[in-house]
Amino acid sequence: YVERTLAIIKPDAMNKAAEIEDIILRNGFTILQKRKVHLSPEQASDFYVEHYGKMFFPSLVAYMSSSPITVYVLAKDKAISAWRELIGPTNPFKARETHPGCLRDTYGKDQTRNAVHGSDSFISAQREIRFMFHDNVIEPIAAGQ
Ligand code: CMP
């Protein structure tokens, strides 16, 4: 079944956006929507609200609002897990060991500046797509999703 997921190229990887987009397409994802956005600290806090209260929350918000990012709606068969697989674990140092060649291995700098984001579930994907693309029309998706 074809799903949609939200992908983000984070500030530290914006200089590699063309390369990363190429990898996205070569891995069979369709780019349905794309937008460059500079989040305010308030918007970054809202986006990452599930991490509110965690030790790294303030630095995450500061980082994600520090300069523009590119956000994408990607579509593919099982896009959510496929994109998570391609980006690899949160921590680029761990990614290097367990998923060599994944995007966070290749482009990530540290646990916060880890190059890319991907929705972690269907519920998150819906929320995150709506968050970044206000006018997004979510079409009906096959039963069971
Ligand atoms: P992301 O997939 O965008 O989701 C939450 C983000 O918080 C994560 O990528 C990292 O950028 C950041 N993050 C998660 N865990 C940590 C951590 N332990 N220390 C610093 N930053 C983190």
The ipTM is 0.95
89 membership: H or E segment, kind and range: none
Q: Indicate if ligand 1 lies below 6 Å from the C-beta of 114.
A: yes
What percentage of the chain carries pLDDT values higher than 70? Answer: 92
- In DSSP terms, which residues pair with 77 in a beta bridge? 2
Predicted TM-score (pTM) of this structure: 0.92
Within 1-145, strands assigned E span 2-9, 30-37, 69-77, 116-118
The mean pLDDT of the chain is: 93
Q: Using DSSP, state whether 115 is helix, strand or coil.
A: coil
Confirm or deny that 113 is annotated as ligand binding.
Answer: no
The CA angle 38-80-2, to the nearest 5 degrees, is 115
Q: How far does the chain reach from its first CA to its final CA, in angstroms?
A: 9
Please list, in sequence order, all residues whose beta carbon lies within 8 angstroms of the beta carbon of residue 12, skipping any fewer than 6 positions away.
107, 108, 109, 113, 115
Separation of CA 33 and ligand 1 centre (Å): 24
Separation of CA 8 and ligand 1 centre (Å): 13
Confirm or deny that 26 is annotated as ligand binding.
Answer: no
Q: Indicate if ligand 1 lies below 6 Å from the C-beta of 56.
A: yes
Question: Is 99 an active-site residue?
Answer: no
Please list, in sequence order, all residues whose beta carbon lies within 8 angstroms of the beta carbon of residue 129, skipping any fewer than 6 positions away.
4, 5, 6, 73, 119, 136, 138
As a whole number, mean pLDDT of residues 106-132 equals: 97
Give the pLDDT confidence of 25-80 residue by residue, as tens digits. Answer: 999 999 999 999 999 999 999 999 999 999 999 999 999 999 999 999 999 999 99
Domains by residue range for the chain, with CATH: 2-37+69-132 (3.30.70.141)
Residue among 51, 99, 117, 134 flagged as catalytic: 117
Q: Indicate if ligand 1 lies below 6 Å from the C-beta of 117.
A: yes
Ligand 1 atom with least separation from CA of 48: 5
Separation of CA 117 and ligand 1 centre (Å): 9
- Residue 133 has which token pair? 């693309």
